[in-house]
Amino acid sequence: MPLLSLTGVFAPVLTPVDANLDIDLPLYVEFCRWLLQTGCHGLVLFGTNSEATSFSVAERMAALDAVLEAGIPAHKLVIGNGTPAISDGVVLARHALATGCHGVMTLPPFYYPKVSDEGLFRAFAYIIERTGDPALKVYFYHIPQVSGIPLSADLLDRLASAFPAVATGVKDSSGDPENLRRFQQVAASHAGFSLFCGTESLLLANMRGGGAGCISGMANVIPDQIRVLFERWQDADAEARQVQLNWLRNAAAGTGFNVIAAAKALTAARTGAPGWARVRPPLVELTPAQQQVLQAAVAVAEPVLA
Amino acid sequence: MPLLSLTGVFAPVLTPVDANLDIDLPLYVEFCRWLLQTGCHGLVLFGTNSEATSFSVAERMAALDAVLEAGIPAHKLVIGNGTPAISDGVVLARHALATGCHGVMTLPPFYYPKVSDEGLFRAFAYIIERTGDPALKVYFYHIPQVSGIPLSADLLDRLASAFPAVATGVKDSSGDPENLRRFQQVAASHAGFSLFCGTESLLLANMRGGGAGCISGMANVIPDQIRVLFERWQDADAEARQVQLNWLRNAAAGTGFNVIAAAKALTAARTGAPGWARVRPPLVELTPAQQQVLQAAVAVAEPVLA
């Protein structure tokens, strides 16, 4: 049964590539299964940690098709359709709907800097109106430190008012607790508008503020541990759990390595498939020496009790 | 006859859109003809001023096809194939080659900030190697204030060494005379590596430093005037001509309006086709009042003698 509104722990699924830098579909399907078995309520295919923008529309659609053909339930999937060209966003949204996916996660068009809220509203409106299906659910994606294009609370409020039941929520990957609070006010003003934090380190703060969960790159590595905090965020020891949960993010940040390359290197180590460490240009994979440094940092930091 | 290497004045062609925000192909073809008749040596289809990244790969290819079907000579065309996904860059490069175009102008993948030169080298190498045709000519595109991703002189030097005759040049749209000088040193070190400035205000400096010409948004409005300086840059009065040529850029900058929306508004005024003022989101067209302000500013600034 499709969910009316998402809630829980979601991974922006890492995208494995083969030696030709094409998506390694068998490895991808296997990884999606592992994530759902290990703690994720659902998956975001083609978020930032997925290197989404490094893959064409055709590559993204083929990867989604492979995942669905392998039996992964479509209603647990949100498809990243963020592209600089709004026409591409429509193509991806229609494909997501046609294949029964829950919805899409949409970046603002991200080439021109300093675009106005009016221009962003028109861009999102174009995607929603051209997709032309009241079943569409759009989660807007705020990650200004990467995209360069912030989404203001005013813009989200306008979108939620203009497109009720379609403008379904927002992912806040700014990592800024103040911004999360501003977005919580937007979510509180619109029934069914869900707020996800983009880092598990704000999961407790988000749940206490009425949020719906998190969509975090670290859910590619420790989905089980993040799931536990999600299940127990109302327990008396939730704050201690939150502090403990941050160990992996802190250990990875301490190495200074690119976080996507690091998550892939850790997945390579876990699965014993060295190809997992590959990334698509312009990112660069960790060297074997860097992978060792990372694994050592993680081994030291990992708590005995999850 | 295809040129071995480009030289001259090129417009990054504005892309007209109809009321549905689709490319207005008849208006586009007519405008390409006007540019070539009025002063441009050639055209760059899908640069920044073209709102290139706002159009999908399919839309860009269809527009190119329409231009060629209308009889515009392919060898005068360079196709912007900059996209965040390097696989899309390959599709566009192959289409440009298959249709006989001179070459491509390639942005670095522009989503992830702070990518390394190594990662950028791999991205460009992927496009060149996957396109897999020694006839390919790539002009790299440096516009860090928009793309967020600078191209270093070291990177260009490495690309020109690794792919001689394919890595054919660079467009420097930084507007920074110091950077232009650094790139002139790269061009001087590699036979056949052309340097274009991205602003006509540095045309004289670029020609004096061994450059090949300019690819400037203002060439959409005053191609004839820019052409005159290109033809006469060795004349005694060239510096006075350069100062005079800057009138339009200065007048437009003085209004504070978005430069692409402004160039389109001026084209709407010149052609009497008000639809020319439209832009694709996330950009926003000038209001009628703003268009009047712009036209007044331009009218005051326009020199009596070109």
The pLDDT assigned to A145 comes to: 97
Residues of chain B contacting residue A81, judged by C-beta atoms under 8 Å apart: none
Contact A67, A27 (CB under 8 A): no
Q: A1 pLDDT band (50/70/90 cuts)?
A: very low
Indicate whether A189 pLDDT > 50: yes
CA distance B130 to A104: 30
pLDDT for A159 beyond 50: yes
Q: Does the beta carbon of B53 lie under 8 angstroms from any beta carbon of chain A?
A: yes
pTM here is 0.97
Contact at CB, A281 and B126, closer than 8 angstroms: yes
What per-residue confidence (pLDDT) applies to B159?
A: 98
What are the structure tokens assigned to B281, written together?
Answer: 């989101």
pLDDT reported for residue A104: 98
Interface of A with B in 113-132 (CB under 8 A): 113, 115-116, 118-120, 122-123, 125-126
Question: Does B281 sit within 8 Å of A126, measured CB to CB?
Answer: yes
pLDDT-based confidence at residue A273 (cuts at 50, 70, 90): very high
CA distances from B122 to A45, A284, B103, B109 (A): 25, 9, 20, 11
Q: How many CB pairs under 8 A join A and B?
A: 116
Chain A closest CA to B234's CA: distance in Å? 36
How does the average pLDDT of chain B come out, rounded?
A: 96
What pLDDT does A57 receive? 98
CA dist A171 and A139 (Å) reads: 7
- Global ipTM: 0.96
Mean pLDDT, residues A4-9 taken together: 80
The answer to whether residue A4 scores a pLDDT higher than 90 is no
What local confidence, expressed as pLDDT, does residue B304 receive?
73
Which pLDDT does position B303 carry in this prediction? Answer: 87
Q: What is the mean pLDDT of residues A199-208?
A: 97
The answer to whether B119 contacts A283, with C-beta atoms less than 8 Å apart, is yes
β-partners of residue B79 are B45, B104
Give the helix/strand (H/E) hosting A59.
Answer: helix A57-69
pLDDT per 10-residue tile (average), chain B, 306 residues: 71 98 98 98 98 98 98 97 98 98 98 97 98 97 98 98 96 97 97 96 97 97 97 97 95 95 98 97 98 96 75
- Residue A213: C-alpha distances to residues A32, A122, A227, B253 (Å): 19, 28, 10, 45
Q: How far apart are CA B37 and CA A221, in angstroms?
A: 60
Evaluate if residue A130 carries a pLDDT over 70.
yes
* Conformation bin of residue B45: beta by default, left when phi > 0, alpha when psi is -120 to 50: beta
- What pLDDT is stored for residue A6 in this prediction? 83
A161 touches chain B (CB under 8 A): no
Search chain B and give the residue with CA nearest A280: B123
Residue A5 pLDDT grade (very low, low, confident, very high; cuts 50, 70, 90): low
A226 near A203, Cβ under 8 Å? yes
**Are A172 and A146 spatial neighbours (Cβ–Cβ below 8 Å)?**
no
Q: Which residue of A has its CA nearest to B58?
A: A88
Q: Which residues of B touch A146 (CB under 8 A)?
A: 111-113
Segment A208-223 shows an average pLDDT of 97
Domain with CATH 3.20.20.70 in chain B: 8-236
What pLDDT was estimated at residue B1?
Answer: 38
Share of chain A above pLDDT 70, in %: 98
Q: Is the pLDDT of residue A2 over 70?
A: no
Please check whether residue A108 touches B, CB under 8 A. yes
Give domain B8-236's CATH number out of 3.40.50.170, 1.10.260.40, 3.30.365.10, 3.20.20.70: 3.20.20.70
Chain B nearest CA to A207, separation (Å)? 29
pLDDT tens per residue across span A281-305: 999 999 999 999 999 999 999 987 5
Strand partners, A213: A8, A196
pLDDT of residue A304: 73
Average the pLDDT over A9-14 and give the result: 98
Whether residue A253 is predicted with pLDDT greater than 50 in this model: the reply is: yes
